[in-house]
């Protein structure tokens, strides 16, 4: 108690000199979430024929993903990000594809109005579903349902298919414009939503008799993509440059509207973030891509954009692998921007241990005897246990050579030693310390020619750096004044001065051009301010 | 009324016999500190002027270690004898002349005879008297002060007639050898040393020798066993005379014969015909030596001086050991009876307790730090004092670039924050200055401004620093450093927003900046990770230097003084709301009066002014031509207090001169609506003083003042020497005091009985940490001896325990306070 109340004494301490602190960057790349999203190592898959309309992951490991581009559907391995196989049996541009919940079948729709079901392994078309009169834009397997399909197209009709019989179970009418997208509920096999260019999203339930929509929400813009959020109670719609979150259980109320994109949002998907088993284990995020080339990560819990990434092309589609290891973004010029995280070995080994049966008998260590050299060293490198109270050794203050010299009041030696070092910050810090001790000019006058050359070289390099110029410009003037005689008599020093002159002239030129620029900009700013 | 902030280093402290307590002279009282905790346990109160000497009566045998008797001498002309364990005054001897120093040789080292009691106890005192009264030769200069060394019979309480050992221009401190055989004083270039006679009586003639040197001497010390004396001079030299007084003193002992032969043999280094074998000189200290002390075995000599390094000399070889970076000039060194403990007093009002052979600092008794000297261009700046109103702390800048937090109620240092990471060398000229300290209203945030002075125009730097403390312990950690916040212009003021994490800094460069802590920003949906301060807005008014800034009580208005006008801003939107008035000289202080619509401004210079502005009318309400040193506003009332320096002219006037003798300032309590002050008090050393209204939480006031209705707020006044006083400005009695000549509140010599104290008398010093065992109540009303022995005999405690309790119950006990 009494010790806590005691003011700690500052007696007998010595402080090493420290360079001035640098301002910390206030960019967002520092957050753990940004770190997570940047940890996807970028990888480009180029040379696909044209715009990638759709990307879909297989729900089964090893999580193949299908990219629909032009008149073909390419399957990629998500491990190596290399091409796995190509399905070419399309007559027209493929618009959409969907894996079945077990990953063995794949449904794909094309612009000719045909929906085909393929075996993923053999790539043979098993069923052809022909009923749409106009291009089909959306096809999807319902949740945990292996027998049915939902599709929608430019004829404005949403069809619920019986796949085995290649027949339409019900035609769901209601959209007044092209149906472009849709999603099936992640909690219910009978419910799904579709989005259309008539600005509305309709919620359908196939159990309802009269084939009317159960609910509809109006986004206000032609809808490009619609998606259930993992809870099944929320809906995300993308249209125009906005992304909106809707509460279905609450009767179709809009929860939030995110308008961070500059151009049309083309595709959205659900991503997950966070470490496995941590406190923030696996939180869901919405990934949205837009024609402006940005992918944004939206945290719909905090209603905040937590990360944003720029790609050099308009983006058309996005997908995030179920194992959280890869994310792929499709662009309009046929490039897939994939990203893959590094796998941690320990995760796998942990899983391995979990499955291994019984305990593996560990080989017993032989007890150490005094005959062994290690006997005498035992315990020396022991790591403290978690519960151990560690008596920390008092931290030793690290003193640089210049610090030691400054402590001995050998000022000139300190300056020279730090000039020989590589760190300009330290040099300036030592100079500042010398200023405080009123010894800098004395030091300068004591430098011999070689050391003066060192100082001039340093000044030539750094005197125009804005952080140091305040001190160095003043010092340079003084140095030139004080040591004019020595400089005149030495060729080497003259050379330094010439270099110095050149760098100063260059700086002046830069300043002049900056001023010109400022002259151009400031009236504009004035006008903008007035408006 | 609470006083505090007294100097702990005015004179040499003394250890108690068990080395568990340290007696320190603190102005009129002697404070007793525990050496294990470095906290004050009790105090001896009774002297009416600063105490100059405290001597603990040594124990004759280890068994008597618990004896706690001490002698004190004071400038009020009395010598008092105390039992400091109780504490109780036993005896008072009035000498009628101010005593500057006292030694009692017979307490030291003399063999304890069985018939010791028969001898009277003699002390040698250094008195201050006027030449006219004591010396008939110099009647022409009767006013000249001078000092004299006299002998005094303590047993019979009188000066020994006719024995004036020496006369000096100023009273000199007397130094005594630890054996008690010699004592001496320094007289400019000379040392005078007397030998204490073996048998003390009034008639004995003391033998004296004189040692000469060419420089003025500053300190002397005697070797504990040998006849060796060391003296330090102003140039930093230490002179050691060995075998002094062989001729003069030895002859008296009857050993004269052999030594007298070597009469014509000059000792090496000994000047004139000084009576010493040899004189050696050591020179390490670059300036004046303040401290000299021989270790108790006589093998080492401790020395220290202005540069703040304790040097240990090995006496035989002259080898040195150092305890460097103490950070302030050293004044005194004392050893305790416990050989492993000693204390060193520093000029910055700190007493460090040293663990001896290793010279580690165990504990520090930290008094309030003294105001630091500033280079001239920063002389006009405020006093560098900030008050934490809620917890009654004061933050002071110190010489060694620290900010000391000092608790006003507890009268002790709480913590120190290293404001800038530098070592302070006391002798060096000041090149880095902490110019401003500001605390937020809740005390959780601090801002300091430090200036590095340029060397011939190179390398000047202004830094604004923001600090944050996590909890109430006032351990501030650095949050943000801003280099050159207003380019190279100096900062004139920093003020915190009363409720939010917003601050404003105004500069002489013509702009002010509003700073926002990022925690504040985060609420506005801006993602930021670390908390730090960023610039929120910049404002300027006609490129005039901004000289002061203040937030209103609710934080909705920011007032910034642009030289002579006051500009009012909306701190949120950074919009100029209004400009008011024009003063004669640039404004240096701005303050909103509580929650009222008034604003107080003070300006200095050739035409100083205290002006009160009405914000609803945007006009001057009233003003005075007063040089106002500090302004403090009560939090919720429309009262404010101003500390005004008395103008030179009024000091010269005879009529006022009698009233304001030695006092240079007045504290005026105003109601903002009325130019007539509600109350006034006069104050001493007002230059550089500060004022603050402290909020008092009821828990602390309970112990503080046992009055029925505790005051809501206390007014704190801290003078230029950082001595402070807390009092209730609204007490009924204070208003009555208005008409009679104002009483001095600051000067300890003349305590104005006032307020509560005027009716009920002085309260004891308020002590949070009072040791319960030492708190002895006055005689209890019930009779313990009636119940002490009741009960069956086998249940009774042993007789030895009972006896002491029984006797104790019979003894009458008094409290420490002497009326």
Residue range B203-244, pLDDT digits in tens: 777 788 888 888 898 999 999 888 889 999 999 999 998 888
Are the CB atoms for B447 and B503 separated by under 8 Å?
yes
Nearest to B779 by CA among B804, B801, B810: B810
Residue B64 to chain A, least CA–CA distance (Å): 29
- Chain B CB contacts of A24 below 8 Å: 530, 532
- Could you tell me which of B741, B544, B723 has the C-alpha nearest to residue B655? B741
Is A436 within 8 Å of B361 when comparing Cβ atoms? no
Cβ contact B315:B299 at 8 Å: yes
Show the beta-strand stretches assigned E in A58-93. Answer: 65-69, 72-76, 83-87
pLDDT in tens, A49-80: 788 889 999 888 888 899 998 888 899 988 88
DSSP state of B675: E
For chain A, domains (ranges, CATH) are: 35-340 (2.130.10.10), 401-530 (no CATH)
The neighbouring-strand residues paired with B593 are: none
**Which residues numbered 465-504 in A keep a CB inside 8 Å of some CB on B?**
470-471, 474-475, 478
> What is the rounded distance in angstroms from the CA atom of residue A150 to the CA atom of residue A134?
15
User: Which of B326, B364, B458 is facing A471, going by the closest CB pair?
Assistant: B458
Chain A residues 275-304 within an 8 A CB cutoff of chain B: 304
The terminus-to-terminus CA distance of chain A in angstroms comes to: 63
Residues of A in contact with B37 (CB under 8 A): 2, 6
Chain A residue numbers touching B324 (CB-CB < 8 A): 12
* B324 neighbors A12 (Cβ within 8 angstroms): yes
- Count, residues in chain B: 819
Nearest to A15 among B326, B423, B528 (CB): B423
Helix (H) or strand (E) holding B363: strand B360-366
- Cβ of residue A351 closer than 8 Å to a chain B Cβ: no
Q: Is B451 on the interface with A (CB under 8 A)?
A: no
Q: DSSP letters along B389-427, please?
A: TTTTEEEEE-TTSEEEEEETTTTEEEEEEESSS----TT
531 residues of chain A, pLDDT tens digit each: 333 334 444 555 678 888 888 776 655 556 778 888 888 888 888 877 788 889 999 888 888 899 998 888 899 988 888 888 899 888 889 999 999 988 889 999 999 989 999 998 888 899 999 888 889 999 999 888 888 999 999 988 999 999 888 898 888 888 989 999 999 998 888 889 999 999 999 999 888 877 788 888 999 999 999 999 988 889 999 999 999 999 988 888 889 998 889 999 999 999 888 665 555 567 888 999 999 999 999 988 888 888 888 999 999 999 998 888 888 999 988 889 999 888 765 444 444 444 444 455 566 667 778 888 888 887 777 788 888 888 888 888 788 899 999 888 899 999 999 999 888 999 999 998 898 888 899 999 999 989 999 999 999 899 888 888 888 989 999 999 998 998 899 898 999 999 999 999 999 999 999 999 999 999 998 888 775
Kindly list the residues from chain A whose CB atom is less than 8 angstroms away from the CB atom of residue B364. 6-7, 9, 11
Which is it for strands A191-196 and B69-74: parallel, antiparallel or unpaired? unpaired
A445 and B CB contact within 8 Å = no
- For A101, other C-beta atoms within 10 Å of its C-beta total 17
Q: Which residues pair with A326 in a beta bridge?
A: A340
- Residue numbers in A near B347 (CB within 8 A): none
> Searching chain A, which residue's CA lies closest to the CA of residue B415?
A7
Burial of A26-49, coded b for 16+ CB within 10 Å and e otherwise, reads eeeeeeebbebbeebeeeebeebe
Closest residue in B to A475 (Cα) is B458
Nearest CA in chain B to A26: B528
Pick from B416, B455, B457: which is nearest to A438 by CB? B455
| Residues of A (17-36) whose Cβ lies below 8 Å from B | 18, 20-21, 24, 26, 28, 30-31
Residue of B366, B423, B457 lying closest to A7 (CB–CB): B366
Is B39 within 8 Å of A2 when comparing Cβ atoms? yes
Q: Do B530 and A475 touch (CB under 8 A)?
A: no
Is A432–B452 a contact, with Cβ atoms under 8 angstroms apart?
yes
Cβ proximity of A153 and A139 under 8 Å: no
pLDDT at A516: 96
User: Which positions in chain B touch A7 (Cβ < 8 Å)?
Assistant: 364, 366, 404-405, 413-416
Amino acid A236: pLDDT: 93
Count Cα neighbours of B663 within 13 Å in the Cβ-side half-sphere: 25
**What is the distance, to the nearest Å, from the Cα of residue A75 to the centroid of all Cα atoms in its chain?**
25
Which residues on B lie below 8 Å from A32 (Cβ)?
Answer: none
Q: Does A365 touch chain B (CB under 8 A)?
A: no
Tens-digit pLDDT profile for residues B113-155: 444 445 677 888 888 775 444 444 434 444 455 778 888 887 7
Chain B CB contacts of A431 under 8 Å are 459
Listed by number, the residues of chain B in 419-448 with a beta carbon closer than 8 Å to a beta carbon of chain A are: 421-423, 428-429, 431-432
What's the farthest any 2 CA atoms get from each other in chain B? 98
The Cα B791–Cα B806 span in angstroms is: 15
Query: How far apart are the CA of A112 and the nearest CA of chain B, in angstroms?
Result: 48
Contacts of A15 in chain B (CB under 8 A): 421-423
Residue in A1, A21, A436 to test binding to B, most B beta-carbons within 10 Å: A436
Gap between the Cα atoms of B680 and B686, Å rounded: 14
Task: Flag if B527 and A5 touch (Cβ within 8 Å).
Answer: no
* Collapsed DSSP state (helix, strand, coil) of residue B687: coil
Contacts of B525 in chain A (CB under 8 A): 304
With a cut of 0.85, is the ipTM above it?
Answer: no
Instruction: Kindly identify which residue of chain B lies nearest to residue A428, measuring between CA atoms.
Output: B459
Contact B691, B667 (CB under 8 A): yes
Helical ranges in A304-370 per DSSP H = 345-355
Dmax over CA atoms of chain A, in Å, equals 104
Chain B segment 168-227 residues within 8 A of A by beta carbon are none
Q: Given strand B217-222, what is the order of strands in its sheet?
A: B217-222, B228-233, B237-242, B278-283
The DSSP output letter for A245 is E
CA torsion sign for B805, B809, B810, B816 is positive
**CA angle, residues B276, B277, B283, in degrees to nearest 5:** 85
User: Which pLDDT value is given to residue B38?
Assistant: 86
Selecting from A6, A435, A474 the residue whose C-beta is nearest the C-beta of B38 gives A6
What residue of A is the nearest CA neighbor of B428?
Answer: A437
Strand arrangement, sheet containing A41-45: A41-45, A336-340, A326-331, A315-320
Selected residue of B455, B478, B486, B524 to mutate for chain A interface (largest A Cβ count, 10 A): B455
φ, ψ (nearest 5 deg) of residue A431: -60, -40
Which residues of chain B are under the pLDDT cut of 50? 111-117, 131-143, 252-264, 521, 523-529, 651-659, 701-708, 733-755, 757-758, 766-781, 817-819
Question: Is B364 within 8 Å of A7 when comparing Cβ atoms?
Answer: yes
* Contact across the interface for A435 and B404, Cβ inside 8 Å: no
> Please, which residues have CB within 8 angstroms of residue B423's CB and are 6 or more apart in sequence?
A13, A14, A15, B325, B327, B400
Q: Check: CB of residue A283 under 8 Å from CB of residue A301.
A: yes
Strands B587-592 and B99-103: what pairing?
A: unpaired
Task: Provide DSSP, A208-241.
Answer: STT---SEEEE-SS-EEEEEE-TTSSEEEEEETT
* Nearest Cα to Cα of residue B332 among B747, B749, B722, B23: B23
What are the structural domains of chain B?
A: 2-110+119-133+142-366 (2.130.10.10), 376-519+529-739 (2.130.10.10)
Chain A residue whose CA is closest to B429? A437
Which 385-414 residues of chain B touch chain A by CB within 8 A? 400, 402, 404-405, 413-414
Do the Cβ atoms of B421 and A438 come within 8 Å?
A: no
Chain A residues with CB under 8 Å of B461 CB are 432
Pairing of strands B158-168, B575-580: unpaired
Supply the DSSP symbol for B443. Answer: S
**Phi, psi (rounded to 5 degrees) for A491:** -70, -40
């Amino acid at each position: 108690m009494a010790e806590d109340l005691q003011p700690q004494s500052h007696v007998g301490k010595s402080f090493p000199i420290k360079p001035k602190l640098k301002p910390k960057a206030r960019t967002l790349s520092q957050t753990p979430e940004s770190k997570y999203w940047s940890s996807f190592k970028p990888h480009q898959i180029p040379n696909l024929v044209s715009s990638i309309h759709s990307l879909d992951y297989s729900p089964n490991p090893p999580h193949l993903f299908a990219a629909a581009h032009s008149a073909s559907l390419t399957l990629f391995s998500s491990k190596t990000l290399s091409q796995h196989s190509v399905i070419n049996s399309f007559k027209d541009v493929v618009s959409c594809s969907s894996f079945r919940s077990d990953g063995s079948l794949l449904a794909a729709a094309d612009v000719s109005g045909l929906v085909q079901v393929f075996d993923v392994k053999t790539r043979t078309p098993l069923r052809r579903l022909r009923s749409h009169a106009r291009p089909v834009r959306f096809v999807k397997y319902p949740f945990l349902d292996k027998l049915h399909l939902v599709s929608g197209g430019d004829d404005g009709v949403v069809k619920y298919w019986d796949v085995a019989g290649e027949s339409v179970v019900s035609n769901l009418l209601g959209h007044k414009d092209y149906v472009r997208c849709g999603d099936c509920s992640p909690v219910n096999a009978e419910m799904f939503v579709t989005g259309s260019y008539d600005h509305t999203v309709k919620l359908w339930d196939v159990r309802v008799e009269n084939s009317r929509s159960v609910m509809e929400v109006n986004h206000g813009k032609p809808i490009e993509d619609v998606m259930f959020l993992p809870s099944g109670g929320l809906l995300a719609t993308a249209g125009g440059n906005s992304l909106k979150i809707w509460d279905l259980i609450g009767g179709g109320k809009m929860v939030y509207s995110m308008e961070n994109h500059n151009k049309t949002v083309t595709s959205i998907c659900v991503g997950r973030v966070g470490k496995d088993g941590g406190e923030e284990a696996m939180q869901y995020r919405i990934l949205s891509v837009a024609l402006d080339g940005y992918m944004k990560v939206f945290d719909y819990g905090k209603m905040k954009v937590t990360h944003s990434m720029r790609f050099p092309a308009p983006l058309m589609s996005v997908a995030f692998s179920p194992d959280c290891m890869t994310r792929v973004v499709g662009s309009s010029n046929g490039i897939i921007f994939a990203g893959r995280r590094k796998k941690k070995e320990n995760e796998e080994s942990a899983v391995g241990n979990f499955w291994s049966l019984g305990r593996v008998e560990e080989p017993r260590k032989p007890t150490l005897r005094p005959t062994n050299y290690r006997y005498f060293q035992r315990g020396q490198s022991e790591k403290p246990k978690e519960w151990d109270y560690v008596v920390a050794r008092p931290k030793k203050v690290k003193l640089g050579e210049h610090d030691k010299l400054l402590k001995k009041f050998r000022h000139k030696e300190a300056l020279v030693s730090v000039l020989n070092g590589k760190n300009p910050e330290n040099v300036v810090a030592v100079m500042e310390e010398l200023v405080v001790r009123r010894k800098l000019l004395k030091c300068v006058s004591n430098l011999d020619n070689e050391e003066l050359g060192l100082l001039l070289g340093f000044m030539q390099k750094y005197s125009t750096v804005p952080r140091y110029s305040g001190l160095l410009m003043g010092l340079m003037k003084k140095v030139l004044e004080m040591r004019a005689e020595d400089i005149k008599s030495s060729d080497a020093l003259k050379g330094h001065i010439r270099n110095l002159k050149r760098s100063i002239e260059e700086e002046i030129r830069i300043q002049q051009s900056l001023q010109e620029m400022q002259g151009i900009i400031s009236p504009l700013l004035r006008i903008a301010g007035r408006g | 009324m609470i006083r505090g902030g007294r100097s702990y280093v005015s004179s040499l402290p003394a250890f108690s016999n068990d080395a568990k307590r340290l007696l320190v002279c603190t102005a009129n009282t002697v404070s007793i500190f525990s050496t294990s905790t470095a906290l004050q346990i009790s105090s001896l109160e009774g002297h009416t002027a600063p105490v100059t000497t405290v001597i603990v009566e040594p124990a004759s045998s280890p068994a008597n270690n618990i004896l706690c008797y001490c002698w004190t001498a004071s400038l009020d002309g009395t010598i008092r004898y105390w039992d400091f364990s109780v504490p109780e005054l036993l005896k008072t001897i009035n000498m009628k002349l101010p005593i500057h120093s006292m030694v009692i040789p017979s307490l030291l080292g003399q063999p304890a005879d069985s018939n010791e009691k028969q001898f009277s106890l003699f002390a040698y005192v250094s008195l201050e008297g006027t030449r006219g009264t004591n010396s008939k030769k110099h009647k022409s200069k009767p006013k000249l002060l001078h000092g004299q060394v006299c002998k005094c019979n303590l047993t019979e309480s009188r000066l020994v007639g006719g024995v004036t050992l020496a006369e000096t221009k100023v009273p000199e401190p007397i130094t005594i050898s630890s054996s008690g055989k010699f004592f001496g004083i320094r007289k400019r270039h000379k040392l005078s040393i007397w030998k204490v006679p073996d048998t003390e009586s009034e008639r004995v003639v003391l033998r004296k020798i004189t040692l000469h040197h060419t420089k003025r001497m500053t300190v002397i010390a005697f070797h504990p066993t040998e006849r060796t004396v060391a003296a330090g001079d102003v140039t930093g030299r230490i002179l050691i005379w060995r075998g002094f007084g062989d001729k003069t003193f030895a002859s008296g002992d009857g050993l004269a014969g052999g030594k007298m032969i070597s009469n014509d043999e000059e000792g090496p280094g000994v000047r004139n015909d000084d009576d010493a074998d040899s004189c050696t000189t050591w020179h390490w200290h670059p300036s004046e030596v303040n401290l000299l002390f021989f270790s108790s075995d006589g093998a080492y000599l401790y020395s220290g001086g202005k540069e703040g390094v304790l040097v240990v000399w090995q006496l035989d070889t002259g080898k040195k050991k150092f305890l460097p970076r103490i950070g302030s000039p050293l004044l005194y060194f004392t050893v305790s009876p416990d050989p492993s403990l000693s204390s060193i007093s520093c000029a910055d009002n700190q007493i460090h307790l040293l663990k001896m052979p290793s010279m580690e600092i165990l504990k520090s008794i930290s008094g309030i730090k003294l105001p630091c000297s500033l280079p001239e261009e920063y002389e006009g700046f405020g006093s560098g004092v900030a008050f934490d109103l809620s917890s009654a702390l004061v933050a002071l800048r110190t010489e060694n670039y620290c900010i000391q937090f000092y608790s006003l109620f507890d009268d002790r240092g709480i913590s120190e924050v290293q404001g800038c990471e530098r070592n302070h060398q006391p002798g060096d000229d000041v090149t880095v200055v902490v110019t401003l300290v500001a605390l937020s209203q809740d005390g959780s945030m601090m801002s300091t401004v430090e200036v590095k002075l340029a060397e011939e125009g190179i390398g000047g730097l202004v830094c604004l620093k923001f600090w944050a403390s996590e909890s109430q312990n006032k351990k501030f950690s650095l949050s943000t450093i801003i280099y050159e916040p207003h380019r190279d212009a100096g900062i004139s003021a920093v003020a915190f927003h009363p409720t939010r994490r917003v601050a404003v800094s105004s500069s002489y460069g013509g702009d002010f900046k509003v700073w926002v802590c990022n925690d504040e920003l985060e609420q506005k949906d801006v993602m930021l990770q670390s908390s730090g301060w960023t610039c929120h807005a910049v404002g300027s008014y006609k490129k005039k230097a901004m000289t002061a800034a203040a937030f209103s009580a609710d934080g909705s208005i920011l007032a910034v003084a642009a030289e002579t006008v006051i500009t009012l801003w909306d701190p949120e939107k950074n919009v100029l709301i209004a400009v008011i008035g024009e003063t004669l000289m640039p404004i240096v202080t701005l303050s909103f009066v509580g929650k009222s619509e008034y604003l107080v401004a003070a300006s200095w210079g050739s035409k100083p002014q205290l002006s009160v502005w009405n914000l609803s009318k945007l006009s001057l309400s009233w003003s005075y031509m007063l040089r106002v040193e500090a302004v403090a506003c009560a939090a919720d009332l429309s009262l404010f207090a101003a500390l005004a320096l008395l103008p030179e002219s009024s000091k010269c006037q005879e009529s006022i001169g009698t009233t304001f003798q030695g006092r240079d300032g007045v504290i005026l309590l105003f109601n903002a609506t009325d130019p007539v002050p509600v109350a006034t008090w006069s104050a001493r050393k007002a230059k550089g003083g500060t004022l603050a209204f402290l909020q008092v939480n009821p828990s602390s006031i309970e112990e503080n003042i046992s009055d029925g209705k505790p005051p809501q707020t206390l007014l704190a006044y801290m003078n230029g020497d950082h001595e402070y006083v807390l009092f209730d400005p609204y007490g009924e009695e204070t208003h009555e005091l208005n008409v009679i000549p104002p009483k001095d509140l600051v000067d300890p010599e003349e305590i104005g009985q006032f307020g509560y104290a005027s009716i009920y008398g002085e309260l004891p010093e308020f002590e949070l940490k009072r040791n319960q065992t030492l708190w002895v109540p006055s005689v209890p009303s019930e009779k313990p001896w009636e119940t002490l022995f009741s009960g069956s005999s086998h249940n009774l405690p042993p007789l030895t325990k009972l006896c002491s309790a029984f006797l104790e119950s019979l003894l009458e006990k008094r409290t420490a306070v002497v009326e």
